[in-house]
C-alpha cells in the first residue's frame, strides 16, 4: 500500500490538533474549576446541572420566605404577648373596680389607667413589621388596623383588616399562610349584650361614632335606635318605626349620648341628614368592653358597677382566650418554620454536593489527565519527527 507524504502530514496534524484540544480541555477544567465548560462536552450532565441549579435557586427562595415569615411571626408573637399582659392588667383593675366601697377618686384613677391600657392595646395592634406593613392588617398591610379617637374620656376605636391571607411557599409543594392573624378577629369576642353603631352610607359629614354599649341593663329594652341630625348642632333619637324618642338634643362633639340604657358618643362634624344606627350585634371589640366599664366607673351607681364588672370580666376572659388561640397558632407556625428551615438546609446541602459532583473539577484527576495528555502529545511529536527524518535508503 502506498502512503503519500501529504496523507501522512494531514494525519499527523489532525492527531496533534485532537491532542491539543484534550490538553486545552484539561487546562480549562483546572483554571475554571468546572468539569463541563459547554453542554456539548456532556449533554446529559449539562441537563442535570441545569435542573440542580434550578432546584438550588428555588431552595434559596424558600429559605428567604422562611426567614421573612419567621421574622414577622416572631414580631406578632411578641406583640400578642404584650397584649395578653394588657388584658391581665385590665382584669386586675376590673376586680378592684368591683369593690363598691371605693371612693369616687379611686374609681376615676382606675378609669384613667384603663384608658391608658386601651392606648397601649391600640399601639400593639398597629405594630409595623420590617417591610413597613401593619402586622395585624391582613392583606391590607398598608392600612392601619386600629383607628382610635378620644370621646368623653374613653378611647373609641374602629378595627379593620382583611383576613385574606397570602400563601407563601416555604418548600417544594408546601405553602404557609401569611397575614391570617388579623386584629379584627382576635380583638373581638362573642357577647350576648353586644351592640354596634353603624353610620349610614348616605352620610356626608366627617362625624364618626364609637361602638355603643349597654350602660344600664336594668332599663335596656333591646330595641334599635337611630341618632339623626336634623341640623349640624342638634339631633333626634328615633325608634325603629321612625317615631321620635328624644327631639332637638344639643350636639357637642365627643360628649356621651345616652338613651334607654344605651351609651355611645359621636365626634366630628355631621352634615344635616346624617344618621347613626345603634343595633344588636353578635360580637364586641376589646375597646367597647373596657369603655363600658370606664363609663360606669366615671358616672355609674354601685349596682350598675357590680353588674358591669361581672360582664366585663366575662368579656375580658373571652378576649384573652381568643388571643391565646392566635398565639398558639403563631407559635405552632414558628416551630414548623424552624423545622422546615432545617429540612431546607439539608436539602440544599444535598443539592450542592450533587451539583458539585457533576459540575466541579476533580483537581487530582484533572492534573493527572493533563500530565498524561501532554506526555502523549510529546511522544507523538517525537515519533512524527523521527518518521519525518527517515528515508528508504535507511532500510536498504
Q: What pLDDT was estimated at residue 10? A: 58
54 shares its domain with 123 = yes
Give per-residue pLDDT as tens, 43-94.
766 666 677 777 788 888 989 999 989 999 999 999 999 999 999 999 999 9
Is 162 a member of any domain?
Answer: yes
Which grid cell sits at 81?
A: 404577648
Characterize 51-74 residue by residue with b for buried, 16 or more Cβ atoms within 10 angstroms of its Cβ, and e for exposed. ebeebeeebeebbebbebbbebbe
Q: What pLDDT was estimated at residue 59? A: 85
Q: What average pLDDT does range 149-172 have in this prediction?
A: 83
Q: What pLDDT was estimated at residue 347? A: 85
Rounded to the nearest integer, the mean pLDDT of the chain is: 82
Single residue among 236, 258, 281 that ends a domain in this structure: 281
Indicate the pairing of strand 146-151 with strand 154-159.
antiparallel
Is 391 a member of any domain?
Answer: no
92 shares its domain with 204 = no
Q: What pLDDT was estimated at residue 392? A: 47
Q: What pLDDT was estimated at residue 112? A: 94
Is 267 a member of any domain?
Answer: yes
272 shares its domain with 326 = no
Task: Judge contact between 72 and 291, C-beta under 8 A.
Answer: no
Q: At what angle do helices 104-125 and 286-299 cross, to 10 degrees?
A: 160
Q: What pLDDT was estimated at residue 161? A: 74
Q: What average pLDDT does range 135-143 have in this prediction?
A: 83
Q: Pick from 82, 83, 79, 263: which is nearest to 156 by CA?
A: 263
Q: What pLDDT was estimated at residue 235? A: 96
Q: What pLDDT was estimated at residue 184? A: 81
Single residue among 281, 310, 328 that ends a domain in this structure: 281
Domain that holds residue 311: 34-147+158-189+286-360
208 shares its domain with 222 = yes
pLDDT band with cut points at 50, 70 and 90 for residue 243: very high
Q: What average pLDDT does range 320-329 have in this prediction?
A: 92
Give per-residue pLDDT as tens, 110-127.
999 999 999 999 999 999
Give per-residue pLDDT as tens, 244-287.
999 999 999 988 898 988 989 899 999 999 999 999 998 999 99
272 shares its domain with 125 = no
317 shares its domain with 222 = no
Spatial distance between the Cα atoms of 143 and 156, rounded to a whole number of angstroms: 18
202 shares its domain with 295 = no
Give per-residue pLDDT as tens, 184-211.
888 988 888 899 888 999 999 999 998 8
Q: What pLDDT was estimated at residue 119? A: 94
One-character DSSP codes across 245-280: EEEEEEP-TT-EEEETTEEEEEES-PPTT-EEEEEE
Spatial distance between the Cα atoms of 211 and 195, rounded to a whole number of angstroms: 7
Characterize 267-298 residue by residue with b for buried, 16 or more Cβ atoms within 10 angstroms of its Cβ, and e for exposed. beebeeebbbbbeebeebbbbbbbbbbbbbbb
Q: Which of 30-34, 238-242, 296-300 has the lowest mean pLDDT?
A: 30-34
218 shares its domain with 271 = yes
- Provide the domain count of the chain: 2
Is 26 a member of any domain?
Answer: no
pLDDT band with cut points at 50, 70 and 90 for residue 336: very high
pLDDT band with cut points at 50, 70 and 90 for residue 371: low
One-character DSSP codes across 350-374: HHHHHHHHHHB--HHHHHHHHHHHH
Which grid cell sits at 146?
A: 386600629
Q: What pLDDT was estimated at residue 90? A: 95
Which grid cell sits at 341?
A: 428551615
Give per-residue pLDDT as tens, 348-367.
888 777 766 666 555 556 56
Rounded to two decimals, the pTM is: 0.75
Q: What share of the chain in percent tops pLDDT 70?
A: 77
Task: Judge contact between 337 and 73, C-beta under 8 A.
Answer: yes
* Cα end-to-end span (Å), the chain: 19
Task: Judge contact between 211 and 290, C-beta under 8 A.
Answer: no
Q: What pLDDT was estimated at residue 105? A: 92
53 shares its domain with 137 = yes
Examine the pLDDT at 315 and tell me if it is beyond 80: yes
Is 353 a member of any domain?
Answer: yes
Residue of higher predicted confidence among 279 and 165: 279
Amino acid at each position: 500500500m502506498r502512503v503519500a507524504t501529504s496523507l501522512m502530514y494531514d494525519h499527523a496534524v489532525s492527531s496533534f490538533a485532537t491532542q491539543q484540544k484534550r490538553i486545552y480541555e484539561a487546562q480549562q477544567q483546572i483554571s475554571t474549576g468546572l468539569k463541563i465548560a459547554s453542554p456539548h462536552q456532556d449533554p446529559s450532565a449539562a441537563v442535570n446541572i441545569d435542573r440542580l441549579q434550578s432546584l438550588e435557586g428555588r431552595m434559596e427562595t424558600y429559605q428567604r420566605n422562611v426567614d421573612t415569615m419567621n421574622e414577622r411571626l416572631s414580631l406578632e408573637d411578641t406583640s400578642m404577648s404584650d397584649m395578653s399582659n394588657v388584658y391581665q392588667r385590665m382584669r386586675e383593675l376590673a376586680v378592684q373596680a368591683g369593690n363598691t366601697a371605693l371612693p369616687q377618686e379611686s374609681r376615676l384613677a382606675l378609669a384613667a389607667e384603663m384608658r391608658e391600657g386601651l392606648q397601649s392595646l391600640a399601639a400593639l395592634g398597629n405594630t409595623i413589621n420590617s417591610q413597613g406593613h401593619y402586622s395585624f392588617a391582613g392583606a391590607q398591610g398598608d392600612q392601619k388596623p386600629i383607628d382610635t379617637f378620644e370621646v368623653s374620656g374613653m378611647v373609641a376605636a374602629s378595627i379593620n383588616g382583611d383576613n385574606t391571607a397570602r400563601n407563601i411557599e416555604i418548600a417544594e409543594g408546601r405553602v404557609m399562610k401569611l397575614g391570617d392573624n388579623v386584629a379584627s378577629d382576635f380583638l373581638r369576642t362573642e357577647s350576648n349584650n353586644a351592640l354596634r353603631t353603624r353610620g349610614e352610607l348616605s352620610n356626608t359629614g366627617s362625624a364618626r361614632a364609637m361602638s355603643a354599649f349597654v350602660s344600664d341593663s336594668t332599663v335596656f329594652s333591646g330595641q334599635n335606635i337611630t341618632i339623626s341630625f336634623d341640623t349640624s348642632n342638634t339631633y333626634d333619637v328615633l325608634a325603629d318605626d321612625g317615631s321620635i324618642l328624644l327631639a332637638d338634643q344639643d350636639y357637642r362633639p365627643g360628649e356621651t349620648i345616652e338613651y334607654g340604657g344605651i351609651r355611645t358618643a359621636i365626634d366630628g362634624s355631621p352634615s344635616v341628614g346624617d344618621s347613626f344606627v345603634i343595633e344588636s350585634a353578635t360580637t364586641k371589640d376589646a375597646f367597647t368592653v373596657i369603655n363600658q366599664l370606664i363609663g360606669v366607673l366615671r358616672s355609674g351607681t354601685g349596682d350598675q358597677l357590680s353588674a358591669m364588672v361581672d360582664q366585663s370580666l366575662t368579656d375580658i376572659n373571652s378576649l384573652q382566650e381568643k388571643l391565646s388561640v392566635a398565639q398558639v397558632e403563631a407559635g405552632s407556625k414558628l416551630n414548623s418554620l424552624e423545622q422546615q428551615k432545617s429540612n431546607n438546609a439539608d436539602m440544599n446541602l444535598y443539592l450542592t454536593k450533587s451539583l458539585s459532583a457533576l459540575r466541579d473539577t476533580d483537581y487530582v484527576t484533572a492534573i493527572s489527565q493533563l500530565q498524561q495528555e501532554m506526555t502523549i502529545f510529546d511522544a507523538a511529536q517525537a515519533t512524527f519527527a523521527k518518521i519525518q527524518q527517515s528515508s528508504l535508503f535507511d532500510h536498504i
